[in-house]
Amino acid sequence: MSEFLSRLNPEQAEAAGTINGPVLVLAGAGTGKTRVITFRIAHMLSIGIAPEQILGMTFTNKAAREMRERLAQLVDPGVASRVTLGTFHSFCIRILRREATKLGYLPGFTIADDSDQQGLLKQAVGNAGFSTREGFPLAEVQAQIGKWKNRLLFPKDAKKFAETSYEEDCAIVYEYYQELLELQNSLDFDDMLLLVHKLFTEFPEVLAKYQDRYRYLLIDEYQDTNAAQFTIVKLLVGETCNLCVVGDDDQSIYSWRGADISNILNFPEHFPGAKVVKLEQNYRSTTSILNAANAVIGSNANRHEKKLWSDLGIGDKVQVVKTASGEAEAEFIAGMIQQLHESEHYAYKDFAILYRSNHLSRELEQSMRRNRIPYRLVGGQEFYKRREIKDAVSYLKLLVNPHDDQSLLRILGTPPRGLAAKAVEQLKIGRATTHTPMVDQLGLEEFRKTLPPKAARAAEELDETFRLYREKFQEPGALAAKVTSFLRDVGYLDGLQRIYKDLNDSMKRRENVDEFINAIAQFEQREQEPQTLEAYLESFALLEESDRTEEDDAGGDAVTLLTVHASKGLEFPVVFCVALERNLFPHERAIEEGSLEEELRLFYVAITRARKKLFITRAARRLQRGMLQPAMPSPFLELLGDDVAEFPSPDDLLRPASDESVRKAFAEIFKMLDKRNRD
């Protein structure tokens, strides 16, 4: 046994030490899956496997960073840096940068973000002869196209598989949408997987090259893979099938994103001869919390059997608390946080409040403010989705990809420069008749002749600035300085006050753009080699909600408010899971569709975020459309018997909250907890 395997428990060591052939590691919540993956890689390196032959794929940038940092602590950092670790999308984009010309794309392709896709879809709906006002909501069409791409269906295939007239119409829109993407040399996120699959199936020599390079594959969070990811993995591992996947079917909560739980449930059938290793020792939570989690998830029939256990002690039983109303629930939670903060010296950052849907945060936020409790809300407007940041990025994308008409249309009047509706109309005509990218038309005399003198001068200046900086950005390095200079010379920085008339608003947005430039500087500092603008834009396109600036993170000592979905992968000493009521948790849509198993897995995820204390709350009445309506308890609460939970419901909690009633309720609950601890 190598030094790395000797530092793991027996099940972890078995998972990390089985190198050849397919391995399924069923890693229950808090059982140390990241430790297993990093120690497995370290062990592989120690027995002579070349780092370049190892590919590890995760689902978030944060997980990939954590994995790389841990690996660098176990082995030589230089060796660790040669292991390929990243998300599925970052891996696919790396391949496409090298190979996309085989599919007809130019090397400088850009990645369309959500707003770009919406703009292209709106145009595609119009080109197809439909209207967004006539049963074609863009979000639904976008979701349908995403489903087809995740099933590896191009437009011609989507037409064959369309089951309704609505889907047939969506397939027509899909065809126009894909043509617009290709015309602008752009990809959307689903294209990354779709096109890599096309490369692997249509160009066997490309597949063989990557099979030869990556002899050993590790996939984290395997329960979250969709059909396209599964197929790409299946192709990559080939006949040698040195594949290790780590996941937990009990935490499969992303079917709405296309995740297919059958990938992990049927792994032994997909990969015959697979070894299955179960990790059941939990290093996070007390036994009482795990007993509640096991009681809940054990009700699901469609799962790999496993049972979490811990040697961290019994701990407090889960508290299931009923309050008079949603407002009383929020006040109860605020009061309990203050009580534990003062009496047991928990920091505010030790608390998390989890809810099934974002709208439930309102009363909780109000209560935090009323009680002067610092908090951070996860899932508000992200820094990188602010308008001024997206405008700055559109300017930069045009330097890399002149075919990106969508970005030009976004910034043409930002700030105002006289290039209004008439100029846009002429650009679209030129694009349709000559196929010349819009940004290149700015430099054409025949285009400028169609404009008033002031607008013509603006077009010429814009064209000259783009051409000048396109040359300057050819050389890697000094990105932050060049971006600052470009945004100033193109008129964006000084033009913010003309875009946002209010002085305070424009100053705040200028500060945000400055912070964006700081992020570019940090990107340069993190990398060892001088970086290109293309490399930065690629990293920007793959940013996730977990990639936050310090400012956006709200930092410091604060209670965290977030949805259960957003809490996956996190842990807190004290957790409040709120609104366990019918139609809220489980969600009304899940009840209607009869898809309660995933909702139950979501509840399991909520329970297993808690390390020491877990409170589950519900209200007897809750505001609905301005009226207090009776709220029925969640059927999930019936799974929590007296053996795993306590149900303290003093009369005070059933009346509208007041300072005195809340104090009495806390006293009753703490009396029960003290008695249990003494027993």
Q: Are 90 and 196 in contact (CB under 8 A)?
A: no
| Burial class of residue 433, CB neighbours in 10 A (0-12, 13-18, 19+) | exposed
* From 220, 224, 329, 440, active-site residue: 220
> Residue 24's CB: how many other CB atoms inside 10 A?
23
Q: Kindly list the distances between the CA atom of residue 571 and the CA atoms of 213, 349, 439, 605, 662, in Å, as whole numbers in the listed order.
A: 37, 11, 48, 10, 27
Q: Kindly list the distances between the CA atom of residue 668 and the CA atoms of 317, 616, 650, 652, 675, in Å, as whole numbers in the listed order.
A: 15, 16, 7, 10, 11
Report how far residue 563's alpha carbon sits from residue 8's, in angstroms, rounded to the nearest whole number.
Answer: 33
Q: Which of 239, 249, 248, 302 is nearest to 271 (CA)?
A: 239
* From 7, 18, 34, 532, active-site residue: 34
Quick one: CA torsion of 80, 14, 62, 530, rounded to 10 degrees? 10
* From 278, 284, 509, 609, active-site residue: 609
DSSP string over 428-447:
HHHHHHH---HHHHTT-HHH
Report how far residue 442's alpha carbon sits from residue 426's, in angstroms, rounded to the nearest whole number.
Answer: 10
Strand partners, 276: 24
Question: Which residue do the tokens 């984009």 mark?
Answer: 93
Please write down the HEC assignment for all residues of 75-89. CCHHHHCCCEEEEHH
Q: Is 608 a catalytic residue?
A: no
The encoded tokens of residue 1 equal 């046994």
* From 11, 33, 363, 414, active-site residue: 33
Q: Is 609 a catalytic residue?
A: yes
Q: Which residues of 88-117 are buried (b: 16+ CB within 10 A; e: fewer)?
A: bbbbbbebbbebbeeeebeebbbbbbeebb
Q: Are 35 and 4 in contact (CB under 8 A)?
A: no
Q: Kindly list the distances between the CA atom of residue 106 and the CA atoms of 96, 390, 404, in Å, as whole numbers in the listed order.
A: 10, 23, 12
Q: Which residues of 451-463 are buried (b: 16+ CB within 10 A; e: fewer)?
A: beeebbebbeebb
Q: Are 497 and 412 in contact (CB under 8 A)?
A: no
Q: Are 340 and 574 in contact (CB under 8 A)?
A: yes
Q: At what angle do helices 138-150 and 189-202 cross, to 10 degrees?
A: 30
Q: Are 308 and 290 in contact (CB under 8 A)?
A: yes
* From 221, 327, 581, 646, active-site residue: 221
Q: In this structure, what are the phi and psi dihedrals at residue 417, rounded to the nearest 5 degrees?
A: -140, 20
Report how far residue 376's alpha carbon sits from residue 372's, in angstroms, rounded to the nearest whole number.
Answer: 13
* From 117, 231, 251, 560, active-site residue: 251
Q: Is 33 a catalytic residue?
A: yes
Quick one: CA torsion of 233, 235, 236, 242, rounded to 10 degrees? 80
Q: Is 201 a catalytic residue?
A: no
Report how far residue 339's alpha carbon sits from residue 82's, in angstroms, rounded to the nearest whole number.
Answer: 50
Q: Is 221 a catalytic residue?
A: yes
Q: Is 220 a catalytic residue?
A: yes
Quick one: DSSP state of residue 634? Answer: P
Q: Are 188 and 117 in contact (CB under 8 A)?
A: yes
Catalytic annotation, residues: 33-34, 220-221, 251, 609
